[in-house]
Amino acid sequence: MIDLTELTIKDAARLLRLGSVSAADLVTAHVERIERLDRHVKAFLRFTPELWERQAEEADRKLRAGDAGPLTGIPMAVKDVLCVRGVETTAGSQILRGFKPPYTGTAVSRLFEAGALMLGVTNCDEFALGSSTENSGYFPTHNPWDVDRVPGGSSGGSAAAVAAGEAIFALGTDTGGSIRQPAALCGVVGMKPTYGRVSRYGLIAFASSLDQIGPFTRSVDDAALVLSVMAGNDPLDATSSERSGGEVLNNYGAGVKGMRLGVPREYYDVQGIEPGVKAAIDQAIKVLRDQGAEIVDVSLPHTDYGLAAYYIIAPAECSSNLARFDGVRYGMSEVDAPNITEAYMRTRRKGFGAEVRRRVMLGTYALSSGYYDAYYLKAQKVRTLIKRDFDQAFERCDAVISATSPTVAFPLGAKTQDPLSMYLCDVLTLGGNLAGLPGISVPCGMSEGLPVGLQVLGPQWGENLVLRVARAYEQASGVKAEVASFA
Ligand code: GLN
């Protein structure tokens, strides 16, 4: 018997078209699984039966009429930072409790138009600040491979939902690694597009020059499909590119024969990389070489400064984006105060968690007059150098490969008292955000019984190259994103 909660989009779509299962069957199977497992995983913050019932009915009608789109009847989960009309959306924060957006963001509405069904809203670090989902204003999510460990973050709920068989695919956002890192730690595929590829309209902003929306899936083909549906110009986001969404699929099945793949030495030997992670990456490099790729040594000399620059730029943008949460316009409101300033302060003190307050303070400081040149401007200059490092690397190779995360999933609580060690989780991913590049994490084996991710980064607008490498690796290695065995 086929387990309907372990399918890829591609396989589920085939069964739906054959008529051997209905969208309603898929939903029922997922809801049953969620009822059985989610109290251990805690991937979801809330469920959306009002949506899935109507959407499944419509999907089944379309399937019967032979009028199905690429995602018709496929159940998905959506990170709590993406606005969906009428669905409580809180960015993992108490300050937005009760907020129901009056509109649906572009990425989600394109998926709805393509027929996807929404099961619910997934947990995340508050305003996507974090690498473990422990900064959620509600509760931490647990890694389905070992429920005493973190799923990664900030999109940990989405990664865990796909890894636990609680959704066929999910949406996340990636500002410094928040799709790729949890994908790696949960053993699923996660992709961050080129900055500007997917509209950010309807995404609750963290750092607007870095944020991108992307998919979590069980295969590279599925990631390519979901991305191609979401991508493409949107007049509602001024940074959205004119390029067509379909472009990401160009020739991505062609294999790596003749491609040059760069191994950045600063990433390969990054501080703190676990031996088991390194061994899995070595094995992946071998698989790609055996497939006919030429492996070249490249350098990203400013890697050491990336983390520092990111943790100036991201908090600076965060402090400015989060200024709108004042208790007057959205969500929580502590207006019972002697004056308006005190009302703002009480609302923000009560509504924001410790990490949000830390970032707002860091960011406000870095942007303040007198410190702006020393910190913010300096960080922007480093950002340019990092971009240039990648430009130079891509003169010598078509894509670069590395581990996604230096470590496998760590125990819950292991890094919560030490923000710097938490920040180090993204040392291999945040360069891609600073430079605006597309990147993917694909499962590449296990270390200490936990999943390891292989990261592929490509040049700007080179999603098709990134997908091509990831797909060639997936096919040749036989390593597939599996539903976690505890489930
Ligand atoms: N962990 C990084 C941070 O906390 C990245 C988060 C993200 O990509 N949203 O900023």
Among residues 93, 178, 199, 219, the one annotated as catalytic is: 178
Q: Calculate how far, in angstroms, residue 439's C-alpha sits from the geometric centre of ligand 1.
A: 15
Does 116 have pLDDT greater than 80? yes
For the stretch 212-262, pLDDT in tens is: 999 999 999 999 999 999 999 999 999 999 999 999 999 999 999 999 999
Contact between 167 and 191 (Cβ < 8 Å): no
Catalytic (active site) residue 79: yes
Catalytic (active site) residue 154: yes
Q: How many CB atoms lie within 10 A of CB 364?
A: 16
Q: Calculate how far, in angstroms, residue 425's C-alpha sits from the geometric centre of ligand 1.
A: 9
Q: What percent of the chain has pLDDT over 70?
A: 100
Among residues 154, 402, 405, 477, the one annotated as catalytic is: 154
Find the mean pLDDT for residues 370-379: 95
Q: Calculate how far, in angstroms, residue 217's C-alpha sits from the geometric centre of ligand 1.
A: 20
Catalytic (active site) residue 178: yes
User: What lines the ligand 1 site, CB under 6 Å?
Assistant: 128-131, 154, 174-178, 206, 314, 426
According to CATH, the topology of domain 4-251 is Amidase signature (AS) enzymes (3.90.1300)
Say what the pLDDT of residue 165 is: 98
Contact between 467 and 223 (Cβ < 8 Å): yes
Confidence band (pLDDT; 50, 70, 90) for 394?
very high
Does 486 have pLDDT greater than 80? no
Say what the pLDDT of residue 1 is: 74
Indicate the domain borders of the chain. 4-251
Confidence band (pLDDT; 50, 70, 90) for 487?
low
Q: Calculate how far, in angstroms, residue 42's C-alpha sits from the geometric centre of ligand 1.
A: 20
Mutate to test the pocket of ligand 1, among 126, 154, 422, 430 (most ligand atoms within 8 A of CB): 154
Q: Among the atoms of ligand 1, which is closest to the Cα of residue 175?
A: 8
Contact between 353 and 129 (Cβ < 8 Å): no
Find the mean pLDDT for residues 39-43: 98
Among residues 42, 79, 192, 415, the one annotated as catalytic is: 79
SS3 at position 44:
strand
Mutate to test the pocket of ligand 1, among 158, 178, 213 (most ligand atoms within 8 A of CB): 178
Q: Between β-strands 117-122 and 439-447, what pairing exists: parallel, antiparallel or unpaired? A: unpaired
Cα separation, 396 vs 286, in Å, equals 19
Q: Where are the beta strands (DSSP E) in 5-88?
A: 44-47, 75-79
By CB neighbour count within 10 A (0-12 exposed, 13-18 middle, 19+ buried), where does 148 fall? Answer: exposed
Say what the pLDDT of residue 435 is: 98
Q: What percent of the chain has pLDDT over 90?
A: 96
Q: Calculate how far, in angstroms, residue 422's C-alpha sits from the geometric centre of ligand 1.
A: 10
